Each structure stands twice: as C-alpha cells, then as structure tokens.
Structure 1
Amino acid sequence: MTELSISTAAGVFDAIAAGPPEGRPVLLLHGFPQTGLAWQRQIAALAAHGYRVVAPDQRGYSPGVRPERPEDYRISVLVEDVVAITEELGWASFDLVGHDWGGAVAWWTADAHPGRVRTLTVVSTPHPGALATTLRTDPDQRERSHYMIDWRETPATEERMLAGDAKALRAAYAGKIPQDSVEAYVRHLSQPGALTAALNWYRAGRPDGAIGVIDVPTLYVWSTEDSAFGPVAAQETGQWVNGPYRFETLPGVSHWVPEEAPETLSRLLLEHLRAHGEYGTTGTAGTQANTPSVDSPKR
C-alpha cells in the first residue's frame, strides 16, 4: 500500500492505495471513528485481484480538509468530495464501497451520480430512506440511534470521549478492532480539532433534499450484532433498490465488519464486483442474487 495526497478545490485528502494504476477503480469510504486504515484487509484483497483501490481519509479526518463549521459537513458536500476525489484520480466511473458514515455517503452518491457509480457496496448502514422510515415506526431503531442526538453536544462529547487517555473513545470499538488500529485511530482523533471535525458529521443537520431508490447493482452487508442498526431497517433497505440487489447477513458479527470479518467481507465484495463487471459499460447489470429488488417509487 502507498500513501496518496489528493488535491481538490476543498483541500488535500490523505489516502492509502494499492493495485495497478490501470486496474478497475474502487473507492472505499470509512466511517466514524476511523480512517481509511479500516479497509486495509479489503485493499490488499482487491489489489491482489488487479483492482486499483483507494481509501481516502474523508472530510474532517484529513487535516488538509478540516473546516470548523458543522454546516460544512452536510451530506451534499460529502458527496461533492467523492466526485472531486474521483475526478482528480481520473476515474470516469468506479465501484463504490462504504461503511458506517461512509455507507451513508455511498448511498447518496449512488443516488446523485448513478452514471458514474458502476456498483455500490454498503456495509452496516441501511439506505437513508429505510432508516428514516424505521425511525418513525420502530422503537428499537429509535433507541439504537439515540447516540446520534447525544453526540451533537459540543464540546461536551469531545471532552468525554478523550478523557482518561480516550477511555470512552477506545470503548466504542468494543474490543472488535485490532489494538494497533485502535491506537492509530486514537492518535489520529486526538489531534487538535480532529474529533470535533469527525463529530461535525452528526451536527451538520438534515440532508438538503430527499434520496430516491438506487438503480445501480447493490450489495448490502448487515451483521446481527450491530448495535447501531437493527434488523427492521436492514430488511427495509431492499425496498429502496431497483437495481440488482444482494442482501447478506453476517451472524454473530458486530458493527465493525471490515475488521472483524475481513475475509468474509472481501469475498462478498469480490463476488459482487465480478458479477457486475460490465455494468456502466454496456448498460446491463448481471443477475440478481439473494434478495429480490422491489419496484419502489421515489420517496
């Protein structure tokens, strides 16, 4: 793996990359509270099969793109970052993968730019429309999502998470992430302004508009021990994908799928990419697997 600096109008994004420059491009988006390092096992697996893989540290996580205002972390701005990064890399189309907040950005990007996203893979995070529906109807999901309200406190949340050698921040990883990665994340988020920037994703306010159904081939991976996203939202996600859709459940795995179940996730990802290798080139999209897609109106 190599380190990259990706210059955009918003600033310079740090990234890690691997694979031949001419390989089929794949962009990996991390979540909170992590960096592109979260994808190191998937980067290695994809690069070994000839893919060109880039995992940026997203807005706020990259010191070169760390605005102070919460409104500078709106979902539309985060989608613009994806477009700017891929344009700087020279990628006319690409496969998009996201986990946690990176998954939310991936859903919105696939909705806004279906002609550029060859395939979509989202880990843990339900489709935003499915999550919104479930928050209205499912008390369990409302309870799971309450932390998002708590974390909007500032600077109380930062002080609480970093107190006592970042005891609360370390606890968030629930012992499911390799210790060397935990130390790297804690060091990174202990930099001045870094944790506030990461929490600004929660403080940015509601999206600018509504998201629709997704038409590109989509793999959604959810784990049964995910503390943030429950089964109702996971099952509802299929109602929001019109393209070929595959839904995979990982029993006994927590929220931290890329690092807790790296081999399984890499296998599923490779299968998904291979199944839809011609999508975006011919306009057709392989066979549908596992869970039927449902024709749903835009909501």
Structure 2
Amino acid sequence: MTISSYVRDGLTFDVIDSGPADGDPVVLLHGFPERATCWREVSPILHEAGFRTLAPDQRGYSPGARPRTRLGYGARDLVADVVALIDEIGRPVHLAGHDWGSAVGWGVAAERPDLVRSWTAMSVPHPVPFARSMKGPQRRRSAYMAFFNVPFVPELVAGRNGRMERMMRGSGWKDADVERFREEIVDYGALPGGLGWYRALFLAPRVGRVSVPTTMLWSDRDVAIGRSALEGNEDSVTGPYELIELTGVSHWIPTKAPEAAASAILGTIAKAS
C-alpha cells in the first residue's frame, strides 16, 4: 500500500512514495533547506534498479508536523520520526540521508540496526568525529550555525536576494535552486521548522557506533563540511565501511550529482545483500 503520510505523536508527516510497490524499500532523508523533492533525480535511478523509494518531508517541513518551540526539534524526536515511518512500511529498509538527513540517519542506524539494512550518508559524517573536528578548521565552516540560532533574524533575511539566498548561492546554488527554495521552503512556511533543528542542537544525545554496511559520500567543493570533519569517521562504524569522494561537486550531492548519489546507495545495498 502506498504511504502518502503517516502520524507520530500527533504530528502528520507527508511522504513521496514511488517506484515498484513490491521493491525493497529505500528511505531517503533530506537536509536543510530542502524537502523530499531533493531526491527527484535520484529516485528514478533506484526505481529502475527495482527499488521502492520513500522520501518524507521531515519535522518542521510537513505542514502537519511543525512544533512551535525549539524543544520540539530535538534529535531524539527526529530519529523517532524516521523509526515511525519504517514501522509504517512494516519491514527493514535501506537508508540514505543528506546534510541534516545524514545527521539523523546516523542516529537511526546506530540505535535501530534491526530496522536498517544499509546506510548511505552524504556530506555529514557521524556526529562524534564531526564534533571533534569543531576544534579545528571545521569550526569556521560551521560558523553559520550561530547565525541560524539567532531568534527571528534568519527568517527576516530570507526574502528575495536577502542574506539567506546569498549564502546558498555561495554554497553552489543556481537560480533554479533559489527559486525552489523560495517556493518550497519560504512560501511553504517550512523555514522556521528547518531552523528549529539548529536551535535544538543543545538537545543532541551522543550517537553510538553503526554496525550495518555504511558508505560515506563527500564532495570536495563542499563549503559547509571540510575534509577534516571526516577524519576518524571509519572508527564510528563497526560494519563494512567505504568513503567515496566526489571531485568538483558542491555540498548539494542529491541535486548536483544524482547519478553518483544513486550509485553510492546501490553499492551499499549490494554489500548488505
């Protein structure tokens, strides 16, 4: 049965469920500031390989799942939201995530290996090496997080040609990406919820090691995540692990390198099989 939405803790999450209905399920987790549509070019490749894809608009992005305070965006809830979707699917899944979706996916894979057959992380490494890297050059790359934590101001500068759009253009966005941001995030009312993830970072618990087959996909033109953030990432995985580095690709791997993203997911799935 197709899943267009599911409910957890009184919140309703929208889902893009597509591909062969009888295919092994692959759950795709978006990052900030994007929605499930960021997988629009990745999913068809997975469908052609026989897989069903389920991409949710996560907490803060789905209109029916927008807590009003930052306390509603803690990492434990973000992980539990994904677990609830997998429970709705009714069987273990292959999991992939980009950016914040990657941060959440590490938690899901670590806490519930019984529900995750394989894990493909894009851009953001395991929270432990990432936190450690903040003592070095990664701290400068992550300075924008402090700005996102200022109440109300990021929302106020998210208008046309404002600071938020200039930041995103600097990270590799083109005109079409900016237009999508205006329509799918700002006009849709999803920006405050997306920023809520940053504002609830103080609630983040320690994440354990991941035992399922794991691939880390990183791109060398990522302005947000430097190579130093990946140092020691393999130590956070006890199962099969592979690091794939993309050359000449910006932070936005699912939309700028969808073939590479799909290939990484399929490669991880093959290891799990």
TM over 0.5: same fold?
yes
CA distance in 1, matches of 2:196, 2:79: 15
Question: Which residue of the other structure, out of 162, 166, 173, is the alignment partner of 1:171?
Answer: 166
Aligned equivalent of 1:96: 95
* Pairing 1:148-297 to 2, within 5 Å after superposition: 148-162=145-159, 165=160, 167-174=162-169, 176-177=172-173, 179-191=175-187, 193-277=189-273
Aligned equivalent of 2:76: 76
Aligned equivalent of 1:62: 62
Q: Which amino acid aligns with 1:213?
A: R
**Deviation larger for 121-130 or 176-185:** 176-185
Aligned equivalent of 2:7: 7
Note the alpha carbon deviations across 1:261-280, whole angstroms, 9 max, x for none. 11122122212212212xxx
**Deviation larger for 45-54 or 13-22:** 13-22
Question: What is the root-mean-square deviation of aligned Cα atoms in Å?
Answer: 1.9
Question: Which residue of the other structure, out of 143, 147, 151, is the alignment partner of 2:144?
Answer: 147
Q: Which amino acid aligns with 1:168?
A: R
CA distance in 2, matches of 1:166, 1:37: 23
**Deviation larger for 8-17 or 178-187:** 178-187
CA distance in 1, matches of 2:30, 2:167: 15
Distance change in 2, residues 1:172/1:45 (3 Å)? farther
**Deviation larger for 213-222 or 267-276:** 267-276
Identity %: 38
Moved segments of 4+, more than 6 Å: none
Q: Which amino acid aligns with 1:202?
A: Y
CA distance in 2, matches of 1:246, 1:4: 33
Aligned equivalent of 1:18: 18
User: 8 Å contact 2:158–2:186 — kept in the other structure?
Assistant: no
User: 8 Å contact 1:169–1:186 — kept in the other structure?
Assistant: no
User: 8 Å contact 1:226–1:254 — kept in the other structure?
Assistant: yes
1:141: how far off?
0.5
1:3: how far off?
8.3
1:205: how far off?
3.2
User: 8 Å contact 1:178–1:259 — kept in the other structure?
Assistant: no
* Pairing 1:98-113 to 2, within 5 Å after superposition: 98-113=97-112
CA distance in 2, matches of 1:169, 1:38: 18
Q: Secondary structure of 2:120's partner?
A: strand
1:154: how far off?
1.2
1:160: how far off?
1.2
Q: Secondary structure of 1:161's partner?
A: coil
How many residue pairs align between the two structures? 271
**Deviation larger for 229-238 or 168-177:** 168-177
Aligned equivalent of 1:49: 49
Q: Which amino acid aligns with 1:93?
A: P
Aligned equivalent of 1:120: 119
CA distance in 2, matches of 1:33, 1:166: 16
Question: Is structure 2 residue 44 aligned with structure 1 residue 30?
Answer: no
Distance change in 2, residues 1:166/1:3 (3 Å)? farther
Distance change in 2, residues 1:172/1:44 (3 Å)? farther
Q: Which amino acid aligns with 1:187?
A: E
**Deviation larger for 99-108 or 250-259:** 250-259
Distance change in 2, residues 1:72/1:200 (3 Å)? same
5+ residue gaps, structure 1: 278-299
Aligned equivalent of 1:135: 134
Q: Which amino acid aligns with 2:155?
A: E
Give TM-score, length-normalised by structure 1: 0.85
Give TM-score, length-normalised by structure 2: 0.93
5+ residue gaps, structure 2: none
